[in-house]
Structure 1
């Protein structure tokens, strides 16, 4: 039974590792953005502020995986109605812990970039930091957008 528990825990770690957010960089695109026309504006970075982009809060994968692992762990305790109670408590506790782990492992370093466009308009965009490199005040950039979705690139 211990081998089964180890296998379940390793599987859970693999699943949680695979649920990292798709990049929110200026150079990453969702499938729905591919082939879509975007307006292009040029400007200069006025300021940059480091921000934290919250992790996934839906907890579907984390809480589900945690509940399974917790339930299996709880099922190893006691016998009869005590085992049933331990299984339920283990599943609930595992679900809560799994949700927190998922949220913590999917949070990202971001940057709020305030840009003065060549038109004179000032806009601010939050996006993930790519390869640890922040934009800097004075950088010439191009801003790509479609509707309310904007991204800053060089």
Structure 2
């Protein structure tokens, strides 16, 4: 078992708390979620009928936070292995392994289920929109609204 000194334990606890908070930082990507910058902005509204719906996965975030947090935890844990030279090597190896693990954990924690909704617009054109699955059960044949502002497109009821 690897022993970690009290300072290392506090750093480890702080980093773990910060890493767990990553899930709360991810912006919603569903049809009912708006960013602050989208408030009071005009959107073009089109109507159509849902042609098909399929589940997809929205990949998680890949910011430096997960990598750096993991590297710090790994470096602290690795430095407590071995003596003098061994602790330096352990710290480097621990930091590398921790960085890779932290990055993977961040991506996994922030990954979200999504839906790809294909809509036939009133003009006959087809449009597919991918958005976060917020529990709305879109059904083929259902009439929906398409909202566009030039950068964001969403499907709503």
Do they fold alike, i.e. is TM over 0.5? yes
Who is 2:17 aligned against? 14
C-alpha RMSD of matched pairs (Å) = 1.6
What CA deviation, in whole Å up to 9, does each residue of 1:72-123 have, x standing for no partner? 1011112211111111111111000000001111111010000111222210
1:2: Cα distance to partner? 4.5
Q: Which ranges of 4 or more aligned residues in structure 1 deviate by more than 4 Å? A: none
Conserved 8 A contact 1:111-1:134 = no
What are the Cα deviations for residues 35-60 of structure 1, in whole angstroms up to 9, with x where unaligned?
Answer: 211101111111001111111134x1
Match of 2:106 in 1: 102
1:34 to 9, 15, 39: 39
Runs of 5+ unmatched residues, structure 1: none
- When residues 13 and 136 of structure 1 are mapped into structure 2, their CA distance, relative to the original with a 3 A threshold, is farther
Instruction: For 1:83 and 1:9, locate their aligned partners in 2 and report how far apart those are by CA, in whole Å.
Output: 17
* Distance of 1:134 and 1:149 partners within structure 2: 21
Superposition map of 1:28-67 within 5 A: 28-58=33-63, 60-67=64-71
Q: Normalising to structure 2: TM-score of the pair?
A: 0.89
The match for 1:70 is 74
Q: What SS does the corresponding residue of 2:18 show, helix, strand or coil?
A: helix
In 1, the alpha carbon distance for the partners of 2:17 and 2:122 equals 46
TM-score of the two chains, using structure 1 as the length reference? 0.90
| Structure 2 unaligned residues grouped into runs of 5+ | none
d(CA) in 2 for partners of 1:48 and 1:8? 45
